[in-house]
Amino acid sequence: MRHSGGVTDANVIADLSGPDPFPTLRQLREDQPVRRLDMPDGARVWLVSRYEDARQALGDPRLSKRQVPRGNLPSNAGSPIGHHMLNADPPDHTRLRRLVSTGFTARRVERLEPRIATITAELLDDMAGRTEVDLVDAFAFPLPIQVICELLGIPVADRDSFRTWSNTIVSGGLIADPARMEQVRAAIGQLVGYIRNLLVDKRSRPADDLLSALLDPPEDTDRLTEDELVSMVFLMLIAGHETTVNLIANGVYLLLTHPDQLEQVRADPSLLAGAVEEFLRYESPVQTSTFRVTTEPVVYAGVEIPEGEPVLISLLAANRDDKVFTDADQLDVARKEAGHIAFGYGIHFCLGAALARLEGRIAIGALLTRFPHLRLAAPVEDLRWRPGMLIRGLAELPVRYDPV
């Protein structure tokens, strides 16, 4: 099917799932900021790509996270992992978020800073004996997965299994390809089985960690059901490291491919916190929101979306909107404009945003200090980006540096 923009849905979906979605996102934002897409299996979604509309949609109570998308679109509702706060509206969402938010308060995140710095230093020590590594494998992945595992109280030794399951689950993306979705279901089943066994172990051997606290809340307070516990651990494991892996790897990639920006950060380390915000804006680690469904007809950019329709919001497109960000397609580590929506907006704003920012700032700062001559070890055109419309991240990032 062709729309007024003259580009087939299949081409749009392929472009948005590929290594360089930005030309297509720009065209959509300018010509069709609200576009209906017919997916390969015949299901229909609406894609919102302009900043003004994206921010409105993210906070719009007429878009429900609870309703099941119709057609064959992937949905976790009703499954063992479907009972978390990303699949809930108020008041259920309010209750679920309140029960887990104690683990991600500003004070608790601040207390994690010394431990994050220690883990970072240990990973850099491991890198020091070599002169070339895949930075994703050696640094960007193990740091956030160790942090979230320690926070929850999960054996870090199982991190390779988490990585395999997580990669499969997020690569399923938002396209209901039958073969891929079968792999996703298998990975979800394996991770759910792991979590259920973990809960049994935690009940018999509690510790000073977030999962033990969720299992044994204070008397006379609300508690999570078994399915809610499984779902929330699932969400925190996947979301708790995926965004940060991509933030770190994307940020380093951007600096290495923009030497003028790298020199600015090296010359003035106080720019690093703002640079992390620019990395989040410029290469948003989460490309597209998860599904929302209209509970009544809604209008964005003059386009009416009927009731009961699945809606996706392109965070990546919105964060490159030049009506909001000056020279939006230019990386600027000293940018003063704020307001990117890489972590979402409204009641579903990412609970772990402060933790991801802290990990990104510590990791990238320490890496640049430890290896001042860090450089890419492969041509930019040979780098592989993870497929799919959900995650925006590098599959690997080969780098070279001088031995320490």
**How do residues 157-188 score in pLDDT, each as one tens digit?**
888 888 888 888 877 655 556 667 788 888 88
Predicted structure pTM score: 0.92
What is the number of other CB atoms lying within 10 angstroms of the CB of residue 402?
10
DSSP H/E element including 116: helix 106-128
> What pLDDT is stored for residue 168 in this prediction?
84
Confirm if 38 and 309 have CB atoms less than 8 A apart.
no
Minimal CA–CA distance to 236: which of 252, 248, 224? 224
> Quick one: what percent of the chain has pLDDT higher than 90?
66
What is the number of other CB atoms lying within 10 angstroms of the CB of residue 59?
15
What is the number of other CB atoms lying within 10 angstroms of the CB of residue 106?
9
Collapse the DSSP code of 396 into the 3-class scheme (helix H, G, I; strand E, B; otherwise coil) and give the result: coil
**How do residues 211-247 score in pLDDT, each as one tens digit?**
998 898 877 678 888 999 999 888 888 888 889 999 9
> Cα–Cα distance between 141 and 232 in angstroms, integer?
21
Q: What is the mean pLDDT of residues 282-309?
A: 95
Here the tokens at position 245 are 């892996």
**How do residues 74-99 score in pLDDT, each as one tens digit?**
444 446 677 788 889 999 999 999 98
> What pLDDT is stored for residue 263 in this prediction?
97
What is the number of other CB atoms lying within 10 angstroms of the CB of residue 219?
5
Residue 252 has pLDDT above 60, yes or no: yes
Q: What is the mean pLDDT of residues 349-377?
A: 96
Residue 203 has pLDDT above 70, yes or no: yes
> What pLDDT is stored for residue 178 in this prediction?
66
Residue 382 has pLDDT above 60, yes or no: yes
**How do residues 265-283 score in pLDDT, each as one tens digit?**
999 999 999 999 999 999 9
Query: Can you say how many angstroms the Cα of residue 130 is from the centroid of all Cα atoms in its chain?
Result: 30
Residue 72 has pLDDT above 80, yes or no: no
Burial class (CB in 10 A: 0-12, 13-18, 19+), 175: buried
Beta carbons within 8 Å of 66's beta carbon, 6+ residues apart: 77, 87, 88, 89, 92
Beta carbons within 8 Å of 383's beta carbon, 6+ residues apart: 19, 253, 394, 396, 397
Its CATH architecture, for the domain 9-400, is Orthogonal Bundle (1.10)
Here the tokens at position 185 are 């279901």
135, 137, 141, 142: CA torsion to nearest 10:
-110
380, 386, 391, 394: CA torsion to nearest 10:
-40
